[in-house]
Amino acid sequence: MRARATLQDDGALFHYEFENHSDVDYAMITAVTDPRMTGIFHDVRLERTYVHRKDGFALLAADTPERLAMPLSRWLPSRYLASYTWPVPAQRVEHRTDGITYYNASQAVDVPLIATVSSDHKWVAASFTNTTGNVWSNPELTCQHVDPERPLPPRAKLEWDVKILIFPGSLDQVLKKVESQRPLLK
């Protein structure tokens, strides 16, 4: 595996290359890109963290409005997931053995993108890629995951990109940037 991060005017581009020199057929590989939003981007209750659906931007955790009134001890630790290519899970809330509650959004997203607006509503940070199974966040860390997973057959090569945008602007500007830059990603 090779990874490269390149600073760009509007954020950072992460490029990943995988090469399987063996006869082993790997069912799944991934490279976790884990931007953690701190300071003005920290959003523990997911009040400013968005995904894009066919009818526009929506809060990632819109299906769980009760989170706003929950004591943090009931809301955390949790993960909030929204499907992109994977089927939307029928089970909306999962209490897994790792002690983390997983909330599955009821609708799929139509762009592999997750964005957080700053607390002063002047900046936006967004992560996107070409394709992924789902997008998700750990609200305690306000991280943004768009991590692709792919099989890697014997003697094969794969590469992909993840882009993180950080700029003063709006969600509409995020979508325009994603629409123009996504075709350029591997």
pLDDT along the chain (186 residues), means of 10: 98 98 98 96 98 98 96 96 98 96 98 98 98 98 97 98 98 98 98
Measured between alpha carbons, how far is 53 from 33 in angstroms, rounded to an integer?
22
Number of independent structural domains in the chain = 1
CA distance 12 to 65: 32
**Confidence (pTM):** 0.96
pLDDT at position 150: 97
Report pLDDT for 170: 98
Q: Among candidates 185, 175, 183, which has minimal Cα distance to 55? A: 175
- Is 22 domain-assigned? no
Residue whose C-alpha is closest to residue 162's, from 53, 12, 38: 12
**Residue 20 forms part of a structural domain:** no
Instruction: Give the Å distances, CA to CA, from 135 to 111, 154, 160.
Output: 9, 28, 16
Residue 69 lies in a domain: yes
Tell me what pLDDT residue 164 has: 98
By residue range, what is the domain housing residue 140? 36-147+164-184
What are the structure tokens assigned to 91, written together? 């089970």
